[in-house]
Structure 1
Amino acid sequence: MAGKVDPARLVAYDVLRAVHAQDAYANLALPALLRERSVTGRDAALATELVGGTLRGLGTYDAVLAAVVDRPPDDEVRDALRLGVHQLLATRVPSHAAVATTVDLVRRRVGHRPSGFVNAVLRKVGAHDLDGWLRRVAPDPDADPVGHAAVVHSHPRWVVERLAEALGERGDELDALLAADNDRPAVTLVARPGLSDVAELPGTPSISPLGVVLEGGDPGEVAAVREGRAGVQDAGSQLVALALARTEVEGPDRAWLDLCAGPGGKAALLGALASQCGARLVAAERQPHRARLVARAVGTTAGVVTADGARPPWAAGRFDRVLVDAPCTGLGALRRRPEARWRRTPDDLSALVPLQRALLESALDSTRPGGVVAYATCSPVVEETAGVVREVLAGRDDVDLADAVPLVPEAVDAAGVHLPGTVQLWPHRHGTDAMFLAVLRRL
């Protein structure tokens, strides 16, 4: 008879299986499962910690498991072992409880046959603490600094290499950046101008003048959030929207566009900012189901169209301000989407970079002379950021790169090192996602 498994660990395991077997997103799958099973309070908090912690530490935990097993376990067993290793090495759960609950979980979800194997493996893991294991499994930092950082900070090697390249001359900050990727992210709220005021939001001030850091609790319980007058949004995204609104334009300023609006967070803020200026935002999204999410987020502050931003249905030169929040690898938001580091590969860049260039070209074509385009990515990878902007600029004589740094005065030491005039935010330096921003002006 399998032992009783608490609901928090069952939820955590089932979310991990959904992430790895079905390509689910943990930030969507976890809340849905908690609601479906009515898991609340301390159990919900434990499940959240187990999911996030296990996904963030996956690379380290797999290296530890590889040192104690002589054959790769089945995927179902591997996810249970990862969950057990996280409890053993990175939580205050007593070792005996971490082992026993994981064994019971395997009996409940997989069957009795692998339970002895799981028990033996976890007892071997429990023989050393995390530092002891890192000394055993991480490559020598002098002989292989990238490999060492990859294991110690639980990032794929190629991601470490791309982040080191993105830091450029600030490469000595790599360990701090990788460590920040593994911090549990704070929940940041945004007050949408004209609809709410930052003073009515509970929490401490964030780097964004429109935001606060929620110190605890469910953001859905905040009245302004529940009523759609405020939202949950990383401070870096808030600063990108503010930068576009702060940019001077020549001539009329009535028509704004969010070219890639899904799921709607930036569009909701831009729509509110546009309304304050007497302008109107059009929010475009290619996928119908995401367009519906955008419509729900923006309410009456914007018009929503289902359209491919790379092949827009509107006339050229239609807009005064355009935001391109381009699809990207998401390697700047690993705090909030830890599974992205394991899901993305270098091959993704070969598809994303041409799309990013096409979207930026389309945005510029959609902007009238004297208007401006903000190009943003939630990734610091050079190919997706400075590389895209530099290549587009090289092919056009009707565009100039504006200096975006003064548009984000709240972010100290945020100048992009790969293309002067751009902005690069960092989680370890600014407490935000690693948002990139370039502002281009049609001549």
Structure 2
Amino acid sequence: MSTKHGASTTGRAAPARKVAAEVLAAARDDDAYANLLLPARIAQAKLSPGDAALATELTYGTLRMQGRYDRIIRLAANRETSAIDPVVLDVLRLGVHQLVATRIPPHAAVGDTVALAPRRATGFVNGVLRTVARSTPEEWDARVTGELTGDARLAAEYSHPEWVIDALRRSLDADGRVDELEELLAADNVAPAVSLVALPGLVSVAEVGEPGGISPTGIQAVGGDPASVPAVAAGTARVQDEGSQLAALILSRARAIVPGERWLDMCAGPGGKAALLAAEALIGGAELVANELVPVRAKLVRRALAVFNPAPRVVEGDATRFATSDPGGFDRILLDAPCTGLGALRRRPEARWRKQPADIPGLVALQTRLLDAAVAALAPGGLLAYVTCSPHPDETRAAVARVLKRHSELSAVDTRAVAADIATSELGPGVGPAVQLWPHRHGTDAMFVQLLSKVDA
């Protein structure tokens, strides 16, 4: 059956609900990312394809709309969600999602969800969910929004924290798109289409499937498990957002590659952009070094680069060390900086609840240190791509303005012009030299890309 968000679900599959509840608990207690944990839990539980689809819909749908569902639960339970045991609250959220956002029969949504609750709470969960089931989703929408206006209404309707809404509005305004806020919020709540990347020199787009929407290396993924695609199984194609692909290609294709160039991916984990850069470097005769701070993520980078022979060198450690260990040593540097991740809320919906405004200053300070190190490690005449998977103004345009002010040897490259020559579809209007991609406009994560060049001494 079709849900409100287009996924296919049925009223069965208690194992799928159990997997979803486990992932919600891990996201809450262990800061786990659902997109990384869910596939592993599905495999461990040996779910059928139908049950796997249901577990995916329940997990992501519940996380995306958690704010809205908590408002419904408060009204139906007549108590604050902070007073409800977290395990019980997870179960209630799963049940509410089934009742107001899917076509699962109410008796199945209530009965199978109550079975997940601790025995002491089954009566409470049953009562709350039956209360929810007595009203239509439209009636709950009206009660949730009530007399709310402005950002409070948007937060209730689109299930985003108000501070995130304010940040997105400011970023849209800076890009000349402020009237598109509700389109963006709505897009954040729709599961993204799966896209693949064809690694240049290893496989062509035509050999794998139909071309994607914006990246010349992008491929439209067909339904089913991407791992069943022969090129994916061989490692010559990968699952990768087209915005992420374009960010890497902007650096590699900004100008012709001179054989012998040295490239650096400063924060390479988990390795998607590094693999695309490695393919481009191999074709052009350049050498890539991929750095990652976290050993577990460095292992993922090595796995991502294992298809190349020889594989690029992967090193571990704090990327700021390149300022002193290899000053001026790299002709092109990708700094895909740690950030709030507000540009990937479609695929990492828990980030909207996990991040807080108090996190911004620390992230900005880290981005500043990494940018300064990248400038020091960049060779005269070299190119630096500053990339974030966040459109937050403090992490994007303001960060670029600050680094340009600190380093007179840097200049901003017209990155929009570079991207326009690479992209396979129109980027549309924007403000300034940076590229800001949008889920509602481009069908990608909200990637920010700014190329910077260093004066050739």
Would the TM-score normalized by the shorter structure come out above 0.5? yes
What's the counterpart of residue 345 of structure 2? 334
What's the counterpart of residue 426 of structure 1? 438
What's the counterpart of residue 28 of structure 2? 20
SS in 1 for 2:215: coil
The CA distance in 2 between the partners of 1:250 and 1:290, in whole Å, is 28
1:298 deviation in Å? 1.1
> Which residue of the other structure, out of 189, 198, 209, is the alignment partner of 1:191?
198
Q: Cα 1:67–1:202, aligned 2, differ >3 Å: closer, same or farther?
A: same
Are 1:352 and 2:342 matched, yes or no? Answer: no
> Which residue of the other structure, out of 79, 82, 92, is the alignment partner of 2:103?
92
What's the counterpart of residue 181 of structure 2? 174
What's the counterpart of residue 308 of structure 1? 318
The CA distance in 2 between the partners of 1:150 and 1:311, in whole Å, is 41
> Which one-letter code corresponds to 1:327 in the other structure?
P
Indicate the RMSD between aligned Cα atoms, in angstroms.
Answer: 1.7
The percentage of aligned residue pairs carrying the same residue is 51
What's the counterpart of residue 251 of structure 2? 244
The CA distance in 1 between the partners of 2:146 and 2:248, in whole Å, is 42
Are 1:227 and 2:237 matched, yes or no? Answer: no
The answer to whether the 8 A contact 2:15-2:51 is kept is yes
SS in 1 for 2:56: helix
- 1:192-250 CA distances to partner (integer Å, 9 max, x unpaired)? 01111111223453311101121211111111111111111100010011110121379
The answer to whether the 8 A contact 2:257-2:286 is kept is no
SS in 1 for 2:116: helix
SS in 1 for 2:320: coil
Runs of 4+ aligned structure 1 residues displaced above 6 Å come to: 249-252
SS in 2 for 1:15: helix
The CA distance in 1 between the partners of 2:259 and 2:14, in whole Å, is 61
> Aligned residue pairs: how many?
432
- 1:109-163 CA distances to partner (integer Å, 9 max, x unpaired)? x11x21111111111111222221111111546xx21111111111111111111
> Which residue of the other structure, out of 65, 70, 90, is the alignment partner of 1:79?
90
Instruction: Structure 2 unaligned segments of length 5 or more: list them.
Output: 1-11
The answer to whether the 8 A contact 1:415-1:421 is kept is no
TM-score using structure 1 length: 0.94
Are 1:288 and 2:295 matched, yes or no? Answer: yes
Q: Cα 1:251–1:5, aligned 2, differ >3 Å: closer, same or farther?
A: closer
Are 1:48 and 2:50 matched, yes or no? Answer: no
The CA distance in 1 between the partners of 2:188 and 2:399, in whole Å, is 24
Report matched runs for 1:209-224 at 5 Å.
209-224=216-231
The answer to whether the 8 A contact 2:269-2:300 is kept is yes
SS in 1 for 2:449: strand
1:22 deviation in Å? 1.9
What's the counterpart of residue 152 of structure 2? 147
The CA distance in 2 between the partners of 1:94 and 1:204, in whole Å, is 38
Instruction: Structure 1 unaligned segments of length 5 or more: list them.
Output: none
The CA distance in 2 between the partners of 1:188 and 1:250, in whole Å, is 27
- 1:403-443 CA distances to partner (integer Å, 9 max, x unpaired)? 000121225345653xx211100000000000000000000
Report matched runs for 1:1-12 at 5 Å.
6-12=14-20
Report matched runs for 1:201-212 at 5 Å.
201-203=208-210, 205-212=212-219
Q: Between 308-317 and 184-193, report the one with greater CA deviation.
A: 308-317
> Which one-letter code corresponds to 1:137 in the other structure?
V
The CA distance in 2 between the partners of 1:251 and 1:24, in whole Å, is 42
